[in-house]
Protein backbone atom coordinates (compact mmCIF):
# COMPACT_ATOMS: atom_id res chain seq x y z
CA UNK A 1 0.00 0.00 0.00
CA UNK A 2 1.41 3.39 -0.92
CA UNK A 3 1.51 5.80 1.99
CA UNK A 4 -0.92 8.66 2.12
CA UNK A 5 0.91 11.36 0.15
CA UNK A 6 0.05 13.98 2.74
CA UNK A 7 1.63 11.81 5.44
CA UNK A 8 4.79 11.47 3.36
CA UNK A 9 4.90 15.23 2.83
CA UNK A 10 4.39 15.74 6.56
CA UNK A 11 7.26 13.39 7.46
CA UNK A 12 9.44 15.06 4.83
CA UNK A 13 8.75 18.43 6.43
CA UNK A 14 10.08 17.31 9.82
CA UNK A 15 13.74 18.05 10.48
CA UNK A 16 14.95 14.62 11.55
CA UNK A 17 17.92 12.72 12.95
CA UNK A 18 19.33 9.25 12.49
CA UNK A 19 21.35 8.06 15.47
CA UNK A 20 21.56 4.30 14.94
CA UNK A 21 23.14 3.53 11.58
CA UNK A 22 25.78 0.91 10.86
CA UNK A 23 27.80 2.42 8.04
CA UNK A 24 28.48 -0.91 6.32
CA UNK A 25 24.79 -1.78 6.69
CA UNK A 26 23.94 1.41 4.83
CA UNK A 27 25.72 0.25 1.67
CA UNK A 28 23.74 1.68 -1.28
CA UNK A 29 22.26 -1.11 -3.36
CA UNK A 30 23.61 0.28 -6.65
CA UNK A 31 27.16 0.02 -5.30
CA UNK A 32 26.57 -3.58 -4.28
CA UNK A 33 25.32 -4.30 -7.79
CA UNK A 34 28.48 -2.79 -9.27
CA UNK A 35 30.66 -5.38 -7.52
CA UNK A 36 28.09 -8.18 -7.36
CA UNK A 37 26.18 -8.11 -10.67
CA UNK A 38 24.33 -11.28 -9.65
CA UNK A 39 22.20 -9.01 -7.42
CA UNK A 40 19.68 -8.20 -10.13
CA UNK A 41 17.00 -7.42 -7.55
CA UNK A 42 17.27 -6.05 -4.02
CA UNK A 43 17.61 -8.75 -1.33
CA UNK A 44 14.45 -10.70 -0.47
CA UNK A 45 14.64 -9.12 2.99
CA UNK A 46 13.46 -5.80 1.52
CA UNK A 47 9.91 -7.24 1.31
CA UNK A 48 7.73 -5.42 3.87
CA UNK A 49 6.90 -8.44 6.02
CA UNK A 50 10.08 -10.48 5.56
CA UNK A 51 11.32 -12.18 8.74
CA UNK A 52 14.92 -13.32 9.23
CA UNK A 53 15.30 -16.75 10.81
CA UNK A 54 17.61 -15.35 13.48
CA UNK A 55 20.46 -12.89 14.01
CA UNK A 56 22.97 -15.29 12.43
CA UNK A 57 20.92 -15.39 9.21
CA UNK A 58 20.80 -11.59 9.14
CA UNK A 59 24.46 -11.09 9.95
CA UNK A 60 25.70 -13.65 7.43
CA UNK A 61 23.82 -11.94 4.60
CA UNK A 62 24.89 -8.49 5.72
CA UNK A 63 28.58 -9.37 6.01
CA UNK A 64 28.52 -11.05 2.60
CA UNK A 65 27.24 -7.81 1.05
CA UNK A 66 29.40 -5.46 3.13
CA UNK A 67 32.71 -7.25 2.56
CA UNK A 68 32.06 -7.18 -1.20
CA UNK A 69 32.15 -3.39 -1.28
CA UNK A 70 34.08 -2.09 1.72
CA UNK A 71 37.59 -3.08 0.67
CA UNK A 72 39.30 0.32 0.93
CA UNK A 73 38.89 3.77 2.52
CA UNK A 74 38.02 5.15 -0.95
CA UNK A 75 35.06 2.76 -1.05
CA UNK A 76 33.90 4.13 2.32
CA UNK A 77 34.07 7.66 0.96
CA UNK A 78 32.20 6.78 -2.24
CA UNK A 79 29.45 5.03 -0.28
CA UNK A 80 29.29 7.86 2.23
CA UNK A 81 28.54 10.43 -0.44
CA UNK A 82 25.46 8.50 -1.53
CA UNK A 83 24.38 7.58 2.00
CA UNK A 84 24.57 11.15 3.29
CA UNK A 85 22.99 12.65 0.15
CA UNK A 86 19.93 10.52 0.92
CA UNK A 87 19.82 11.87 4.44
CA UNK A 88 19.89 15.43 3.10
CA UNK A 89 17.13 14.58 0.60
CA UNK A 90 14.93 13.34 3.47
CA UNK A 91 15.45 16.48 5.57
CA UNK A 92 17.67 14.59 8.02
CA UNK A 93 19.93 17.12 9.73
CA UNK A 94 22.01 15.01 12.11
CA UNK A 95 23.47 11.50 11.77
CA UNK A 96 25.39 9.21 14.08
CA UNK A 97 26.95 6.28 12.25
CA UNK A 98 29.35 3.55 13.34
CA UNK A 99 31.88 1.66 11.28
CA UNK A 100 32.67 -1.89 12.36
CA UNK A 101 35.91 -2.83 14.08
CA UNK A 102 35.49 -6.17 12.32
CA UNK A 103 36.35 -4.45 9.04
CA UNK A 104 39.70 -3.48 10.55
CA UNK A 105 40.17 -6.88 12.17
CA UNK A 106 39.18 -9.10 9.25
CA UNK A 107 39.31 -6.70 6.30
CA UNK A 108 42.77 -5.32 7.08
CA UNK A 109 41.65 -1.68 6.89
CA UNK A 110 43.19 1.18 8.88
CA UNK A 111 40.72 2.74 11.30
CA UNK A 112 42.06 6.29 11.01
CA UNK A 113 41.79 6.09 7.23
CA UNK A 114 38.23 4.75 7.35
CA UNK A 115 37.25 7.50 9.78
CA UNK A 116 38.79 10.17 7.54
CA UNK A 117 37.09 8.70 4.47
CA UNK A 118 33.65 8.82 6.09
CA UNK A 119 34.30 12.37 7.26
CA UNK A 120 35.37 13.42 3.75
CA UNK A 121 31.99 12.25 2.42
CA UNK A 122 29.93 14.49 4.71
CA UNK A 123 28.14 17.22 2.75
CA UNK A 124 27.74 20.82 3.90
CA UNK A 125 24.59 21.16 5.95
CA UNK A 126 24.62 17.70 7.53
CA UNK A 127 26.06 17.12 11.01
CA UNK A 128 27.64 13.67 11.33
CA UNK A 129 29.21 12.00 14.37
CA UNK A 130 31.24 8.87 13.71
CA UNK A 131 31.52 5.94 16.11
CA UNK A 132 33.54 2.73 16.21
CA UNK A 133 31.29 -0.32 16.51
CA UNK A 134 32.96 -3.14 18.44
CA UNK A 135 31.67 -6.69 18.72
CA UNK A 136 31.70 -8.63 21.99
CA UNK A 137 34.98 -10.44 21.20
CA UNK A 138 36.50 -7.48 19.34
CA UNK A 139 39.52 -6.91 21.60
CA UNK A 140 41.78 -9.82 20.73
CA UNK A 141 45.59 -9.40 20.73
CA UNK A 142 45.55 -7.83 17.26
CA UNK A 143 42.74 -5.38 17.98
CA UNK A 144 43.39 -4.29 21.57
CA UNK A 145 46.15 -1.81 20.57
CA UNK A 146 43.87 -0.46 17.82
CA UNK A 147 41.02 0.04 20.28
CA UNK A 148 43.34 1.80 22.73
CA UNK A 149 44.65 4.03 19.94
CA UNK A 150 41.09 4.77 18.78
CA UNK A 151 40.40 6.66 22.01
CA UNK A 152 42.98 9.25 20.84
CA UNK A 153 41.42 9.81 17.39
CA UNK A 154 40.04 13.35 17.65
CA UNK A 155 37.26 12.86 15.10
CA UNK A 156 35.95 9.66 16.68
CA UNK A 157 32.83 10.69 18.60
CA UNK A 158 32.57 7.46 20.55
CA UNK A 159 32.16 3.71 20.67
CA UNK A 160 29.27 1.27 20.41
CA UNK A 161 29.02 -2.38 21.46
CA UNK A 162 27.31 -4.43 18.75
CA UNK A 163 27.13 -7.91 17.21
CA UNK A 164 25.77 -11.10 18.77
CA UNK A 165 24.08 -9.85 21.92
CA UNK A 166 24.12 -13.25 23.62
CA UNK A 167 27.91 -13.58 23.30
CA UNK A 168 29.70 -13.12 26.64
CA UNK A 169 30.64 -9.67 27.86
CA UNK A 170 34.39 -10.18 28.11
CA UNK A 171 36.50 -8.77 30.97
CA UNK A 172 38.10 -6.05 28.83
CA UNK A 173 34.76 -4.46 28.03
CA UNK A 174 33.81 -2.47 31.16
CA UNK A 175 37.34 -1.03 31.69
CA UNK A 176 37.47 -0.04 28.03
CA UNK A 177 34.08 1.69 28.19
CA UNK A 178 35.29 3.53 31.30
CA UNK A 179 38.52 4.53 29.54
CA UNK A 180 36.48 5.81 26.60
CA UNK A 181 34.40 8.00 28.91
CA UNK A 182 37.56 9.34 30.54
CA UNK A 183 38.91 10.13 27.06
CA UNK A 184 35.80 12.23 26.42
CA UNK A 185 34.17 9.75 24.08
CA UNK A 186 30.42 9.16 23.99
CA UNK A 187 29.52 5.55 24.70
CA UNK A 188 26.68 3.39 23.45
CA UNK A 189 25.84 -0.31 23.55
CA UNK A 190 23.36 -2.57 21.80
CA UNK A 191 21.09 -4.30 24.31
CA UNK A 192 17.49 -5.42 24.58
CA UNK A 193 17.12 -6.51 20.97
CA UNK A 194 17.65 -10.23 21.47
CA UNK A 195 18.36 -10.39 25.19
CA UNK A 196 15.78 -9.28 27.74
CA UNK A 197 15.42 -6.52 30.29
CA UNK A 198 17.96 -8.15 32.65
CA UNK A 199 20.62 -7.74 29.98
CA UNK A 200 19.71 -4.08 29.43
CA UNK A 201 20.11 -3.51 33.17
CA UNK A 202 23.41 -5.40 33.22
CA UNK A 203 24.79 -3.31 30.35
CA UNK A 204 23.66 -0.11 32.08
CA UNK A 205 25.31 -1.20 35.34
CA UNK A 206 28.56 -2.57 33.91
CA UNK A 207 29.27 -0.36 30.92
CA UNK A 208 27.34 2.78 31.95
CA UNK A 209 26.72 3.79 28.33
CA UNK A 210 25.29 7.22 27.60
CA UNK A 211 22.71 5.62 25.32
CA UNK A 212 21.30 2.19 24.42
CA UNK A 213 20.87 0.95 20.85
CA UNK A 214 17.46 -0.74 20.48
CA UNK A 215 16.68 -1.42 24.15
CA UNK A 216 13.13 -2.39 23.25
CA UNK A 217 13.00 -5.45 25.52
CA UNK A 218 13.45 -3.12 28.48
CA UNK A 219 9.66 -3.01 28.22
CA UNK A 220 9.57 -6.41 30.01
CA UNK A 221 10.53 -4.72 33.30
CA UNK A 222 8.33 -1.80 34.33
CA UNK A 223 10.81 -0.69 37.00
CA UNK A 224 13.55 -0.47 34.37
CA UNK A 225 11.22 1.44 32.05
CA UNK A 226 10.59 3.98 34.83
CA UNK A 227 14.32 4.26 35.46
CA UNK A 228 15.02 4.87 31.77
CA UNK A 229 12.31 7.53 31.64
CA UNK A 230 13.62 9.27 34.76
CA UNK A 231 17.28 9.14 33.73
CA UNK A 232 16.62 10.39 30.21
CA UNK A 233 18.89 7.70 28.74
CA UNK A 234 17.95 7.52 25.09
CA UNK A 235 17.00 4.38 23.21
CA UNK A 236 17.92 4.46 19.51
CA UNK A 237 15.05 2.32 18.22
CA UNK A 238 14.77 0.85 14.71
CA UNK A 239 11.17 -0.36 14.30
CA UNK A 240 11.43 -1.86 10.80
CA UNK A 241 14.64 -3.69 11.71
CA UNK A 242 12.90 -5.11 14.78
CA UNK A 243 9.83 -6.05 12.70
CA UNK A 244 12.05 -8.13 10.39
CA UNK A 245 14.44 -9.51 12.98
CA UNK A 246 12.91 -9.82 16.45
CA UNK A 247 10.88 -12.84 17.39
CA UNK A 248 7.24 -11.96 18.01
CA UNK A 249 7.72 -8.23 17.34
CA UNK A 250 5.87 -6.48 14.53
CA UNK A 251 5.25 -2.85 13.70
CA UNK A 252 1.72 -3.27 15.06
CA UNK A 253 2.75 -4.57 18.49
CA UNK A 254 6.13 -2.82 18.77
CA UNK A 255 7.15 -1.94 22.36
CA UNK A 256 8.06 1.59 21.28
CA UNK A 257 4.41 2.39 21.99
CA UNK A 258 4.72 1.52 25.71
CA UNK A 259 8.21 2.98 26.01
CA UNK A 260 7.12 6.24 24.39
CA UNK A 261 3.97 6.44 26.53
CA UNK A 262 6.09 5.89 29.66
CA UNK A 263 8.24 8.89 28.74
CA UNK A 264 11.35 7.01 27.58
CA UNK A 265 13.40 9.10 25.15
CA UNK A 266 13.09 6.91 22.06
CA UNK A 267 14.59 7.97 18.74
CA UNK A 268 14.00 6.52 15.27
CA UNK A 269 16.63 5.08 12.90
CA UNK A 270 17.12 2.47 10.17
CA UNK A 271 19.96 0.28 11.58
CA UNK A 272 21.04 -1.50 8.33
CA UNK A 273 19.10 -0.31 5.29
CA UNK A 274 20.91 -2.63 2.83
CA UNK A 275 19.29 -5.51 4.73
CA UNK A 276 15.89 -3.98 5.48
CA UNK A 277 15.30 -1.76 2.45
CA UNK A 278 14.20 1.10 4.70
CA UNK A 279 14.74 4.84 4.98
CA UNK A 280 14.27 7.18 7.94
CA UNK A 281 11.11 8.46 6.25
CA UNK A 282 9.81 4.89 5.94
CA UNK A 283 10.26 4.41 9.70
CA UNK A 284 8.06 7.42 10.54
CA UNK A 285 5.45 6.37 7.98
CA UNK A 286 5.42 2.81 9.33
CA UNK A 287 4.91 4.06 12.89
CA UNK A 288 2.02 6.24 11.71
CA UNK A 289 0.35 3.63 9.52
CA UNK A 290 1.04 0.44 11.45
CA UNK A 291 2.08 1.56 14.91
CA UNK A 292 -0.72 4.02 15.61
CA UNK A 293 1.51 7.06 16.12
CA UNK A 294 -0.20 10.43 15.66
CA UNK A 295 1.48 13.28 13.84
CA UNK A 296 2.03 15.03 17.15
CA UNK A 297 3.80 11.92 18.42
CA UNK A 298 5.96 11.76 15.28
CA UNK A 299 7.04 15.33 16.01
CA UNK A 300 7.99 14.29 19.54
CA UNK A 301 10.06 11.37 18.18
CA UNK A 302 11.90 13.81 15.92
CA UNK A 303 12.47 16.13 18.89
CA UNK A 304 13.89 13.22 20.89
CA UNK A 305 16.47 12.71 18.15
CA UNK A 306 17.73 16.27 18.53
CA UNK A 307 17.57 16.06 22.32
CA UNK A 308 20.07 13.16 22.38
CA UNK A 309 22.22 14.62 19.56
CA UNK A 310 25.82 15.54 20.29
CA UNK A 311 25.22 19.17 19.38
CA UNK A 312 25.19 22.42 21.33
CA UNK A 313 21.85 23.93 22.29
CA UNK A 314 22.54 26.72 19.79
CA UNK A 315 23.05 24.17 17.01
CA UNK A 316 19.84 22.34 17.90
CA UNK A 317 17.72 25.46 18.23
CA UNK A 318 16.71 26.08 14.59
CA UNK A 319 15.52 22.49 14.22
CA UNK A 320 13.79 22.37 17.60
CA UNK A 321 12.09 25.66 16.75
CA UNK A 322 11.00 24.29 13.38
CA UNK A 323 9.51 21.22 15.06
CA UNK A 324 7.77 23.46 17.61
CA UNK A 325 6.19 25.44 14.80
CA UNK A 326 4.92 22.53 12.74
CA UNK A 327 1.16 22.45 12.76
CA UNK A 328 -0.15 19.01 13.62
CA UNK A 329 -3.86 19.71 13.46
ZN1 LIG B 1 22.30 -1.83 15.36
Question: Residues in the chain with pLDDT < 70?
Answer: 1-3, 329
Active-site annotation holder among 18, 24, 165, 193: 193
Ligand 1 centre and the CA of 226: distance in Å?
A: 23
- Three-point CA angle 243, 266, 155, nearest 5°: 100
What is the SS3 assignment for the chain? CCCCHHHHHHHHHCCEEEEEEECHHHCCHHHHHHHCCCCCCCCHHHCCCCCCCCHHHHHHHHHHHHHHHCCCHHHHHHHHHHHHHHHHHCCEEEEEEEEEHHHHHCCCCCHHHHHHHHHHCCCCCCEEEEEEEEECCCCCCCCHHHHHHHCCCCCEEEEEEECCCCCCCCCCHHHHHHHHHHCCCEEEEEECCCCCHHHHHHHHHHHCCCEEEECHHHHHCHHHHHHHHHHCCEEEECHHHHHHHCCCCCCCCCCHHHHHHCCCCEEECCECHHHHCCCHHHHHHHHHHCCCCCHHHHHHHHHHHHHHCCCCHHHHHHHHHHHHHCCCC
Predicted confidence (pLDDT) per residue in 256-266, tens digit: 999 999 999 99
Task: Report the CATH superfamily, name and number, of domain 5-324.
Answer: Metal-dependent hydrolases (3.20.20.140)
The pLDDT value recorded for residue 10 is: 97
> How close is the Cα of 242 to the center of ligand 1, in Å?
10
**What is the average pLDDT score of the chain?**
97
For 149-188, what is each residue's pLDDT tens digit? Answer: 999 999 999 999 999 999 999 999 999 999 999 999 999 9
How many Cβ atoms from other residues are within 10 Å of residue 280's Cβ?
25
- Quote the ligand 1 centre to 16 CA distance (angstroms): 18
Please tell me the distance between residue 133's alpha carbon and the centre of ligand 1 in angstroms.
Answer: 9
Centre of ligand 1 to C-alpha 160, Å, is 9
- Would you call 29 exposed, middle or buried from its count of C-beta atoms within 10 A (0-12, 13-18, 19+)? middle
Q: How far is the CA of 213 from the centre of ligand 1 (A)?
A: 6
Confidence (pLDDT) at 328: 78
- Provide the pLDDT for residue 329: 59
Determine the pLDDT at residue 314. 97
Distance between Cα 326 and ligand 1 center (Å):
30
How far, in Å, is the centroid of ligand 1 from the Cα of 20? 6
Neighbours of 272 (CB within 10 A): 26
pLDDT, position 193: 97
> In the prediction, which pLDDT does 2 show?
58
Q: Is 289 a catalytic residue?
A: no
Give the C-alpha separation, 240 to 250, whole Å: 8
Amino acid sequence: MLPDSSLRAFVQSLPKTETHLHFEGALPFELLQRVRPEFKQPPASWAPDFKFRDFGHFEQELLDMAFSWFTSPDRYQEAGKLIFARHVAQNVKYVETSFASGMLEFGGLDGREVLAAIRAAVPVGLEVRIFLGIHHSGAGPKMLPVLEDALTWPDLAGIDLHGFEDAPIEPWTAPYWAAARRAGKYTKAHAGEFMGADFVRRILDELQPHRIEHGVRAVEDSVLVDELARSGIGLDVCPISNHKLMLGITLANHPIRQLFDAGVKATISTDDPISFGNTVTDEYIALAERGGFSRKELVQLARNGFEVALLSEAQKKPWMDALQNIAVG
